[in-house]
Every structure is written in C-alpha cells, then in structure tokens.
Amino acid sequence: MNRSTTAVLALVLAGILYLSINVLSSNMLRSIRLDLTQQGLYTLSTGSKRIVEEIPEPVRLRFYFSEKLANQLPNIKSYGLRVRELLEEYVNLSQGKIRLEIIDPEPFTEHEDDAVRLGLQAVPLGTGDSLYFGLVATNTIDDRQIVPFFSREKEAFLEYDLTRMLFNLSDPKKPVVGLISGLQMNADASPMMRFSGGPQPWAIIGAIRDVFDLRTLDPQQGVIPKDVDIVMITHPLGLNDNALYAIDQFVMGGGRALVFVDPFSEVTARSQQQGGRQQAVALASSQLEKLLNAWGVSVATDHVIGDFEASQQVNAGQDGRTRVVRYLVWLQMGLGNLNAEDVVTADLGPMILANAGSIETLPDSKVAVTPLISTSAQAMRMETDLVRFGPAPDRLLEIFKADGVRHLIAARLAGNAMSAFPDGPPKGKDGAEGKTGTQPHVPHLKASSNPISVIVVADSDMLHDQFWLRRQNLLGQDVIVPIAANADFVINALDNLSGSSDLIGLRSRGKSTRPFEVVEAMRLSAEQKFLAEERKLKENLEKSKSRIAELESRAQAGGGNLLTPEQRAEIQLVRAQVLKTRKQLRDVQHNLNQDIDGLETRLKFANVGLMPLAVAVIAAILALFRLRRRRRAGAPRS
C-alpha cells in the first residue's frame, strides 16, 4: 500500500470517527454538562430538585416548537435548544415520573390544531406561517399548566416558571391570600370586563394568582374567613375599628400578614386628581398606625426617604434645556440594600420603589425586627410636602444632606405581641360589643397565642405596573417583561409566610447581567463632586445677579437711570464674573463623566485590543524562537 492510499484511507477513517463521536455525543452525552458560571445558571437549584423528587404522580410535558420555521430565526432557535435541554434535565432527575414529548406543529396538521386548542400563542411570520414555542403540562387527573410562548426576554425566570408548573400540578391546593386594599388594583375585574376593554387588574394580581388563591376581603364586617392563610394589606384607607379588630385578632391567633403602607402613594394621588388636590393628598397616606404600634413599629407619614446612592435618574428641565438628574425619592434597591441572609430577599434582583417611608422600632417593643430592605448611608428624611404637589428633582438635590443612617424600608416582625384592643372588641354605637374577630363566639385574644409573623413594607407604589414591568411587542404579541424584582419580592414574601420555601430560590436565578461596581462608584463620586461645585457656582451667580440689581436700583433711586462711571465699571466687572461663572458651570457639567469615559476607553482597549495584541505578541515570540532554532539547526558545525 503506497503513501497516497494510506493518507486517503486515514482521512476517511478520521471522518467516520468524527461523525461517530458527534452522533454518540448528541444522543448519549446530551445530559452531561459542566456548568462553570459563577452563579450556577445552568444547574437546577436544590428547590427544583426537591420538587421534582417529590412529584406524587406522572406528569406529561408536550413541548411545541416549530423547529423548521425557527431555522429562519437564529435567536429563537438557540433559545429553543436551551429550553429543550432544561426540560430534558427535569426528565433525567424525575426517575421516570416526567415524560417529555417534542412536537413540531407543522402548518395544517393535527399537531397545529392541538396547539391552538390548548391555548398556545401562534406568532405570525412574514412568510404567512405561524411559529409555536410553548409548553403544555398535565397530570393524571388532567390538571393543566401552560406556557403560551417562551419569550427570550424572560429567560431569567425560565427555571422558576417550569418548576412552578410542576409544583402546581403536584399540589393543586393553593394557599389562600386575602387582599385588603385601598388601591384601585381591579382585583375583582371579571374576564368579560377585561376582554371588553374594562379596567385591567394590575399585573401583580396575575402574578399572585399564578401561585395563590387570591380573594378580596371586606373586613369592615369584622370577619376574616377561617380558610384564609395570609392577609395582604395594601395602602389601607378608612378601615373602621371592626376591620382593624378583625386583622388584629387574625394576627394574634397565628395568622400571617404582608402589609404595604405608604407615607405618600403617588399612584393614589394621581388617580384622585379629579376629586381635587386636597382629597388626593388626604388619600395618599396609609392609615394603619394603631396596628403597627401594637406590633412594635411605626411608619410616619410626615416624611419620605431620599437616597443619593440608590436614586434613579430622570429627565428634568432647566433654563429651557433638558438634562438627566437624580430623583432622590425614586429608589432602585440593589444587592447592597437587600438582606442576603433572609430567604425573602437573598439573591433578589434590583427593586424599584417610590416615595418610600421608614420603619421605626418603638422603644418598648418586644417584637424582633429583621431588616429586609434598607437604604444606603447616603440617605436622609425629606418632608412629604416636598413631593405631594409634583416632582421637583432639582429642589430635592439642593436641600439634600445625608444623615449617615441606613433607614429601614421593609422588615420582618416576629415575636410575642399584645393586641391593639386590650379592652376587648370595639363597642357598637349602642355600647354593645361588636363582632369578635374572625367568627362569632371566639374568645378575645389579649396577646398573640404564638409569635406573630408579619412583613411590613413602607411603600405601596412598588406594586404598580409602572415600577416593575414594561410591555413589549414581540412578533405582534404583547409580552410583559419585568424590569425589577418587585413581583418576585411579593411572591417570595407570600411563599415564605405560607410556609413554602422550595420556590423562593428560583426567581432570581438566571440573571446574567451584573452591575459594574467600579464604574458605578466612580459615577456617584463624580456626581457628588459635580453637585458640590454646581451649588457653589450657582450661589456665586445669584450673588452677582443680586449685586447688579442692587446697583441698578441705586441708580434709579438717585433720581434717574444714569449710572456713575464707578457703578458702570462695577457692573461690567460683575457681568464678566457672571459670564465666567456660567462658563465654569458648563465646564463642570461637560467634565462630569470624564473619568468614567476614560475608564470605559481603557476597558474597551483591554477587552478588544489588549487580548488580540497579547496573542499576536506571543505568536511573534514563538515565531522568532522557531526561526532562531532553525537557523541554529541549519548552521554548519565547526
């Protein structure tokens, strides 16, 4: 056998070996993965594994994915592979309890008819075909859970959505959450009203109903049904003593509560504008101090919290121009503001709050107060009147002076507490006792029978759609994309209060975006420096303008509008100073991000240019080394 025949045969064998390895790896090694990400984004969490292991009956998963059509859309095709691999991971862990079917619903087939009948979303393509990318999960008694369409924008919640489906199919009985609200959340909107364009419920209502049995309560009758597991109170207004007593006895008897109170509810103030400014202001502050005081805390309504470090940036007009400034009372709370040791807030993504208050522990409180959300030390209390009549970011920045205190915005309350009604049920109009709490003939509880379990949040605006989601149009479909973890916090809190914790660790997984802490610290430092210099220059500018006005008024007071040469010279000098000050102010604004831009340039060079340059240098060194070695090998020996 000659050399050419051997070479050809070797190439053929190498090709066969290559194809064999690929076939074997794609079929036998599909479930073998090595997750090297810092947060383990591609590894099922302990909670998911536990839920899968405890599935009591077989579950059927039908994954509808238009694979042939997805070949035209690389982004959807790659995400489809990601979803399929994760579903296979669930199957591998289920020990045969989960059965997965991969279905390509081609046009005009029975599979497409089934997809439409089961409620999956069909996304029209430009070719006239429709793309399906959804999941239907059923158990043996035909309970059904559906993902109409897997949106890549919600990839961070993929594992949670899938595990929640399995959990709901395994335990169809949902904990009951009783809602007591002073907000117009439209929780009772019927499907007919929603489809006919009537008031739409807030998105947080749908998120809660996905996991819990949510019911709207009317506690004014003094009764909370016995089957309610958790009471959720949002911006309480006008609750009478019967209602307060019902909540009090519910908590004293071991019931759990999630409470959102607000010193100034911006959402309520906006919705009440038609009733007049005075009415809007009156309804913007929550009213629950009687119960909060009995639980050992207080949330004052005379101030809101401003936080320079956590504040969001907004557009503000000044001198006919629009510029980006910090609005100190709109807060984005990141990892540094959340309690990493509490299951409700551990590893939670950033949250957005507006006009939040502060939770104060009363001196004689015997209830343990555990922080969940706190401000940075660059914060201060600001009078509520500063925000009641509209946003004024520049005004807040002018008076801001950090007090160095980390103010408490959300907290867990646990421990023995006394009733807010030490003398028993409230008296009726005729002096007789009213209803006794949760049901007639139940003895009054002067103190909690067990340690209370309450979570208090000093903000209710965070529940509104504006502060945690955006609606995007994806291939003609309206998709809700969370921009903050507000809903995660609410579901985490309700899950924890209901005694379920397996799902808590999942909602924050898969978030691959991480803040650039060095750049953010430089940005904050630059802004603080800018604000200090801007304040000083503005003061000089105002003094100069006042001096010019003073000189001109003196001339008019002297019997005419003529100025003396000395006055004209001084005015010219002051005007020159004004022009100089304005130029300095523009320079300060222009140079605000100079250090950050420099760092960005260096990072771009390091990531884009330095690595290829390093490879080129190493390659050049190796080439020189080889060339020198060849020369030495070819040099004649003496």
d(CA 505, CA 496): 11
Q: How far apart are the first and last CA of the chain?
A: 43
State mean pLDDT over 170-194: 81
Residues 6+ apart with CB under 8 A from 337: 310, 373, 374, 375, 376
d(CA 498, CA 255): 10
State mean pLDDT over 119-137: 88
Q: What is the third-level CATH fold of 173-509?
A: Rossmann fold (3.40.50)
Question: Positive or negative CA dihedral for 153, 135, 491, 208?
Answer: positive
Q: Can you give the residue ranges of every domain in the chain?
A: 48-150+162-169, 173-509, 520-592, 598-638
**How many C-beta atoms lie closer than 10 Å to residue 446's C-beta?**
12
pLDDT of residue 438: 41
pLDDT of residue 2: 62
Q: pLDDT by residue (tens digit) across 263-299?
A: 999 999 888 765 556 666 668 899 999 999 999 999 9
Asked if domains 48-150+162-169 and 173-509 share a fold, the reply is: no
Q: pLDDT by residue (tens digit) across 578-598?
A: 777 767 766 765 665 566 666
State mean pLDDT over 329-342: 92
Domain 48-150+162-169 grouped into CATH 3.40.50.2300: no
**DSSP, res 155:** G
Query: For the chain, what is the mean pLDDT?
Result: 81
* Residue 516: pLDDT over 70: no
Residues 6+ apart with CB under 8 A from 398: 535
* Residue 477: pLDDT over 80: no
pLDDT of residue 507: 56
| Partner residues linked to 161 by β-bridges | none
State mean pLDDT over 144-170: 85
**b/e sequence 394-406, b meaning 16+ C-beta within 10 Å:** eebbeebebeeeb
Q: What is the band of 193 on the pLDDT scale with cuts at 50, 70, 90?
A: low
* Residue 631: pLDDT over 60: yes
Among 166, 129, 131, 168, smallest CA distance to 152 is for 131
Beta strands 98-103 and 59-65: pairing type?
parallel
pLDDT of residue 188: 80
* Residue 323: pLDDT over 80: no
Q: pLDDT by residue (tens digit) across 544-571?
A: 777 777 777 766 666 555 667 776 777 7
pLDDT of residue 176: 95
pLDDT of residue 168: 83
Is residue 588 within 8 Å of residue 534, measured between CB atoms? yes
